[in-house]
């Protein structure tokens, strides 16, 4: 837990401006701080949103390269590996480009 002070009228605006990769929800009610006009203290549950997860994936890519491509359908892998006609067409197209 760490304190954050803001003059934003809406905490959602503040989060969107400062930390667009985070989402939040209130954990409990607000506490009005004595001696400070209009000041509230709130407890929030904060987590990384989809944008933040995308940032992390990009960082992983730059750190260690592309993830290994996995084929979910075993039949699909065989179709492309064993398809001699596709391989022959690929070779012909390569020869034309030379």
Residue 25 lies in a domain: yes
Given a cut of 70, whether residue 6 has pLDDT beyond it is: no
CA 92 to chain centre: 41
- The pLDDT tens digits of the residues spanning 62-71 come to 888 876 666 6
Residue 69: predicted pLDDT = 64
Residue 4: predicted pLDDT = 63
Please tell me the total count of domains within the chain. 1
Domain that holds residue 18: 11-69
Residue 43 lies in a domain: yes
92 phi/psi in degrees, rounded to 5: -60, -45
Residue 16: predicted pLDDT = 87
Residue 34 lies in a domain: yes
CA distances from residue 43 to 7, 27, 31 in whole angstroms, order as listed:
17, 5, 9
- The pLDDT tens digits of the residues spanning 18-54 come to 899 999 988 887 777 777 666 777 788 999 999 999 9
Return the structure tokens found at 6. 């803001």
Residue 59 lies in a domain: yes
Q: 9-38 b/e with 16+ CB inside 10 Å = b?
A: eebeeebeeeeeeebbeeeeeeeeeeeeee
Residue 85 lies in a domain: no
Residue 58 lies in a domain: yes
């Amino acid at each position: 837990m760490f304190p954050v002070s803001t003059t934003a009228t809406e905490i959602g605006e503040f989060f969107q401006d400062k930390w667009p990769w985070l989402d939040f929800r209130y954990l409990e009610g607000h506490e009005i701080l004595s001696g400070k006009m209009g000041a509230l203290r709130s407890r929030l549950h904060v987590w990384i949103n989809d944008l933040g997860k995308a940032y992390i994936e990009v960082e992983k890519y730059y750190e260690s390269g592309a993830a290994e491509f996995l084929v979910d359908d075993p039949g699909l892998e065989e179709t492309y590996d064993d398809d001699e006609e596709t391989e022959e067409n690929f070779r012909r197209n390569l020869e034309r480009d030379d």
